[in-house]
Structure 1
Amino acid sequence: MLNRLKNLTRDHFFRNVVVLASGTIISQLLILATLPIITRLYNPAEYGVYSMYTSIISIMLMLVSFSYEQAITLPEEDRVASSLLSLSLRICVAMSLLGGVGVYFLAGPLATWAHEPDIREFFIFFILSLFFGGFYQILNGWSIRKKYFRQLSRTKYTQSFSLVSAQLLFSGLFKGPLGLILGDVAGRLGGLIPQWRIWRKDVKQDALHTTWSDIKESAYRYRRFPMLSLASNMLNSLGIYLPTILLAAFYGPHVAGWFALGQRILGSPMTLITSSVMNVYLSESSQYRLHAPHKLYPLFKRTVRNIFLFGLAIVLVMVFIAPSAFAFLFGPEWGNSGQIVRLLGVMYLSQFVANAVGTTIDVMERQDLHLYREIVRVIIVLGALLLAKYTGQGSMTAVLWFSLASTLGYMLHLWMSWTAVKKYRNLPAEPEPGNEAGAGAGQGQEE
């Protein structure tokens, strides 16, 4: 066991995950430390409106660059990658403006669902959150490509510090959920600026100047991402975030608030840790596909095994302590969130594992599999909530049905990732330049 742990700490992949996860852990500890204050400054209904706002933003973030940012790690040349990034940023500007205008004109039904008549006034904040969030999402692709994991890690806690500082500050200045929403805008901006500086420095240093011809060529070369990944990512986002909106519409914003707090306590730490693993996995697997394809399947298998064991430990602890701890930590209004955490445990474990290696489909350029999986998943997840509503089930039963349906969807996702990578299972190791074939094979066996 000690030898296994020692080998793990020497593993390049593991060290990169730790670097990224450290920023995630610090950011989550900061958020968790302030949540008992936040939940006493804002009630469940206000938190529910805020969760609807962030859910809409998260859904629309899947559209802001037409999924071109997912291709930034793939080209061999930095010049091509930088042209993809420039293309993505231009699309993001246009889509942020269109998204904000769309929210303005849909304010009527949103106000009815959220029981928040002033929601039309928030449309400018939708534009800013989309703009800042979209730029950050796109620029992350460059940092992942260049393996700037330490710098990327720092943006996690600058985001969290900006978020909670603004939410605490504005709670005394504005009534209702506006303070929470302004905090979201500040948090997204807090992580963006360092990423922008890193990319611009590389562009200047390596003379990665982009022309319209480069942008058009890159847009055509990686057209499968908007053609297939865009639809699948949008469906994925709907499956994750639309339930919050539906719970608010069906059972009231206070239920959405309980659900959102449960997700914050259990889901957000696991999701952000997964994103750290996923970013390193994406970087490593992209390089392996180009230069050492025999290492792809062992990387996939090792990542699934390790992330499952880690995730299982987190879920077991949270499921057992949450129901009794929530009312004490966050106030008596929030006790039902603890029950929701227990209901969501299995779902988050399956999400933890499936999403860690979910970029396998993108690296293999098998976006068709991703699309099929998302169509099935959205149907069963949203179908579960609609069935609960129209058969007269209570809110907790609806959450349970959602959890079980989502678990099935994530298991399907994991199976499809395995389907995309299994063809590399029995590849012989390729000899490195200057080495004998036998030496290369020995290295592959060691992997």
Structure 2
Amino acid sequence: MINIKNFFKLSSSLVLAQILTFVLSPVISRLYSPAEFGAYTTFIVCVSIFGPILSGKYEMAIIQSKVGKAEEENLIKLSLLIGLFLSILVSMTYASIYFNSDVISYVSAVMLLFLLLFSYALSNVFTFVNNNREDYKTIGYATIIRSFSNNVFSVFGGLLWSTHITLVFSQILSSFQGIRFQKRKADINLKFLKKLDFRQLQKVSIKYRHQALGNAPAALLSTTNQSSILLLSGLMFGTETLGLFAIAIKMLSIPNLIISTSIHKIFFKEIQKKIVTSENINFDVMKTFKLVSLSLIPIYFLIAYASVMFIPFFLGMEWARAGKIMLIMTPWFYMKTISDSFSSLYVLLGKQYYELRLQLIFLLGMISIYAFTFIENINSHAFLVIYVVYSSIYLLVHVVLGINLTKNKSNDGLKK
């Protein structure tokens, strides 16, 4: 069972961060059109897909490191070096696909994407350092700082220049605000990065290779599958529809982020402790699953009931379609919140390859759905219904299989 005290430490900060986002949403939605928000989402989708794997998932090993400061420093060095390299590679590749109309737009897109991606990699590494030290207050405060900065920069920037570039710059500036706070609280002097012992880096990369070989590919497939709805809806239905999809997802993500992020970070740490002491984890996993799944039912029922009437009033009539989109997406987000809460379960069990196979099966199904949409020229509403049904079933299978794996030789292979 998760530590309730730590859950509230982290979730209270996330609640405040999401309240800030919620309160300023009506202002931001009236400064930026759905098309501008869609163009901004094109940048953010890149971060959503590649951000979690930029460091090869070696940052997750920081929380598993039990041999002292030296190994932690080597893992930080390795994570940041991989993050720097992949941020450059991904930004250049992604920009060549989506921003290749002229040289200036391509170069500008590469620079913006690099800053977005590398800031994500830095934040992710420092978050795991804070998590390893059970400093949940710092993680929570950094979330508030990022949310507050992003919303304030978006509002004041929008008053001067209401384009998608303003939204991208707001995201970048807010990310670095949070990083600066996390770094200071983690008491990490980055001067040690100047002393790179490549033999030691190779040693930790081999020791924790299962992160890069098993967890990272599964995570990439997961983020690709989850973000594909935004990645391809813009291409199939235009930036305005992409903006409407994105704002619906943003509103639904408020309860998702508060609940799943808090549970995930604490769940990982608490279950890891039991694994080290060879305790059976199935009881704790099942109890947490029941608590999360039951508590989410009234939350998402209320969201589904109110979304169609509330969104036009709250965000403006220009965004009215987003309310109907939210209604359709609600079952998907109910299952997504549960799944995200237990997203580290396969890693903890050393069963990343099970997850990888599941993700591959899901991807094949999604490719079929996108091909069917394109060939039959179906509208965005029908596409969304098909996507939500298929994704919800997949997420249910993903969670149930993960929990069932804890029943069979619960501690077999957990120390790999």
Q: TM-score by structure 2 length?
A: 0.92
The alignment's C-alpha RMSD in Å is 2.3
CA distance in 2, matches of 1:285, 1:426: 11
Selected match of 1:161 from 122, 132, 148 = 148
Q: Secondary structure at the match of 2:377?
A: coil
Change over 3 Å in CA distance of 1:89–1:425 after alignment to 2: closer
Aligned length: 407
Shift of 1:31: 0.6
Shift of 1:413: 1.4
CA distance in 1, matches of 2:118, 2:376: 40
Shift of 1:85: 2.1
Cα deviation code 1:166-211 (max 9, x no counterpart): 111211333421111111112211221122223344999xxxx984
Aligned match of 1:225: 211
Shift of 1:215: 2.0
Change over 3 Å in CA distance of 1:119–1:317 after alignment to 2: farther
Contact 1:303 1:356 in 2 (8 A): no
CA distance in 1, matches of 2:259, 2:122: 21
Aligned match of 1:250: 236
Q: Does 1:26 align with 2:16?
A: yes
Contact 1:159 1:188 in 2 (8 A): yes
Change over 3 Å in CA distance of 1:281–1:392 after alignment to 2: same
Shift of 1:326: 0.8
Q: Does 1:412 align with 2:373?
A: no
Change over 3 Å in CA distance of 1:12–1:101 after alignment to 2: closer
Selected match of 2:252 from 266, 280, 293 = 266
Q: Does 1:83 align with 2:69?
A: no
| Structure 1 runs, 4 residues or longer, greater than 4 Å off | 117-120, 201-204, 424-427
CA distance in 2, matches of 1:121, 1:201: 32
Contact 1:228 1:371 in 2 (8 A): yes
CA distance in 1, matches of 2:124, 2:377: 40
Selected match of 2:114 from 127, 131, 138 = 127
CA distance in 2, matches of 1:374, 1:347: 16
CA distance in 2, matches of 1:236, 1:331: 33
Contact 1:360 1:417 in 2 (8 A): yes
Change over 3 Å in CA distance of 1:12–1:386 after alignment to 2: closer
Change over 3 Å in CA distance of 1:127–1:201 after alignment to 2: closer
CA distance in 2, matches of 1:391, 1:365: 42
Selected match of 2:223 from 231, 237, 242 = 237
CA distance in 1, matches of 2:171, 2:314: 23
Q: Secondary structure at the match of 1:423?
A: coil
Change over 3 Å in CA distance of 1:170–1:412 after alignment to 2: same
Shift of 1:322: 0.3
Q: TM-score by structure 1 length?
A: 0.86
Give the share of equivalent positions with the same residue, in percent: 17
Cα deviation code 1:216-272 (max 9, x no counterpart): 211001111111212111111111112112111101111111111111111243134
Cα deviation code 1:383-442 (max 9, x no counterpart): 323323322221111111111111122112112312331235699xxxxxxxxxxxxxxx
Shift of 1:163: 0.5
CA distance in 2, matches of 1:247, 1:281: 34
Change over 3 Å in CA distance of 1:119–1:370 after alignment to 2: same
Shift of 1:273: 2.3
Aligned match of 1:3: none
CA distance in 2, matches of 1:195, 1:33: 25
Q: Secondary structure at the match of 2:350?
A: coil
Shift of 1:48: 0.8
Aligned match of 1:188: 175
Q: Does 1:312 align with 2:302?
A: no
Selected match of 1:387 from 353, 372, 385 = 372
CA distance in 1, matches of 2:190, 2:235: 47
Q: Does 1:377 align with 2:337?
A: no
CA distance in 1, matches of 2:8, 2:409: 27
Match for 1:187: what amino acid? S
Q: Does 1:289 align with 2:275?
A: yes
Contact 2:328 2:384 in 1 (8 A): yes
CA distance in 1, matches of 2:333, 2:275: 29
* Greater radius of gyration (CA): 1
Change over 3 Å in CA distance of 1:106–1:394 after alignment to 2: closer
CA distance in 2, matches of 1:210, 1:200: 19
Gaps of 5+ in 2: none
Aligned match of 1:40: 30
Contact 2:130 2:136 in 1 (8 A): yes
Gaps of 5+ in 1: 1-10, 428-447
Q: Does 1:363 align with 2:348?
A: yes
* Higher mean C-alpha displacement, 356-365 vs 384-393: 384-393
CA distance in 2, matches of 1:391, 1:135: 43
Match for 1:51: what amino acid? T
CA distance in 1, matches of 2:370, 2:115: 31
CA distance in 1, matches of 2:207, 2:410: 28
Change over 3 Å in CA distance of 1:360–1:324 after alignment to 2: same
CA distance in 2, matches of 1:383, 1:14: 42
The one of the two structures with greater contact order (alpha-carbon pairs below 8 A, sep at least 6) is: 2
Cα deviation code 1:70-124 (max 9, x no counterpart): 2221122233233222210111112222222223433446x69xxxx95653321
